[in-house]
Amino acid sequence: MAKPYPQVVLFGDSLFQGSVVTFEGFCFQAELQCHVNRRYDVVNRGFSGWNSANALKYLPEMFPPPSPSGPQLKYLLVLLGANDAIQPMHTTTQHVPLEDYKQNLVKIVTHPNITAHNPKILLVTPPPIDEIRITKLDLAWGHSKPIRTAKISAGYTQAARDVAAEVPGVVSIDLWQALMDHAVAKTPDFKAGGPLLGTPELGEQGGLADLLPDGLHLSGEAYRVFYETVLPHIGQEYMGLPEDDRTDYVFPDWRDLNPPA
């Protein structure tokens, strides 16, 4: 086994699982790895379909306490809630009540196996959804109504914001706001103060159509917005350094190994 580097871990559902894929010429995980290359390893622990209860159950197996032979957890990004917010129906099984979701997030970010590493924790809000698109797909899949709604999902987004505000040291990454702002900027006729893009009340997807192709999962453009939102919070100490600066490299640079005679 290769010597472990300090880690940046992406912990969540399909929105992180999918971040390893290149969409429209952009790969979130690869771009983040380039940003911290030779200093940290970016590790993907995204699991399609998981909710916060699933993540909490398996957290102790995925995040052992610090040990001399194990990697140090430097950054933990948590993105959960899109599946918790699924409506409880006879055709669905993933719903987690809002208050339980909030408590699960608190337990995740304060878990002893996490805090023992003293990582920087970035709690990402669930993104917006395009309810117009989701409704068409969910009905086609045999559901009697959309299994997610913009209003219910927004409540889970706010709960994630609240947890970040209430737990000391946890940083909020407001993916919902970043994507919605980007979508609004792409929709010239959108009128602020009214119904949101992607809602039946407005009846217009606007820029969300480009960001959420199936109404839920992110396009390459959306992942790029996500990356730009996260970037200022990871590896800040290396920003602005010369390109050939080797501060905190795990292994030496070739120029240090092969100095001029």
Q: How confident is the chain (261 residues) per 10-residue block, as mean pLDDT?
A: 90 99 98 96 98 99 94 98 98 98 99 98 98 96 96 98 99 99 95 92 96 98 99 90 88 91 82
What phi and psi values does residue 4 have, to the nearest 5 degrees?
Answer: -70, 135
Domains of the chain, CATH where assigned: 7-257 (3.40.50.1110)
Distance CA 18, CA 48 (A): 8
Per-residue pLDDT, 1 = 67
CB within 8 A of 173, min separation 6: which ones? 77, 122, 123, 124, 125, 229, 230, 233
Per-residue pLDDT, 230 = 98
Per-residue pLDDT, 187 = 95
Ramachandran region of residue 208, left (φ > 0), alpha (ψ -120 to 50) or beta? Answer: alpha
Query: 179: part of which helix (H) or strand (E)?
Result: helix 175-185
CA dist 167 → 97, 123, 143, 162, 172 (Å): 20, 10, 37, 9, 10
Would you list the DSSP string of 65-129?
Answer: PP-TTSPPEEEEEEE--TTTTS---TT------HHHHHHHHHHHHT-HHHHTT--EEEEEPPPP-
Is 91 within 8 Å of 147 (Cβ atoms)?
A: yes
Distance CA 240, CA 125 (A): 28
CA-closest candidate to residue 31, choices 53, 8, 50: 8
Identify the burial level of 86 via C-beta atoms within 10 angstroms of its C-beta, where 0-12 means exposed, 13-18 middle and 19 or more buried: buried
Is 211 within 8 Å of 129 (Cβ atoms)?
A: no
In the beta sheet, which residues pair with residue 78? 11, 123
pTM beyond 0.85: the answer is yes
Ramachandran region of residue 96, left (φ > 0), alpha (ψ -120 to 50) or beta? Answer: beta
Distance CA 259, CA 246 (A): 14
DSSP state letter for 151: H
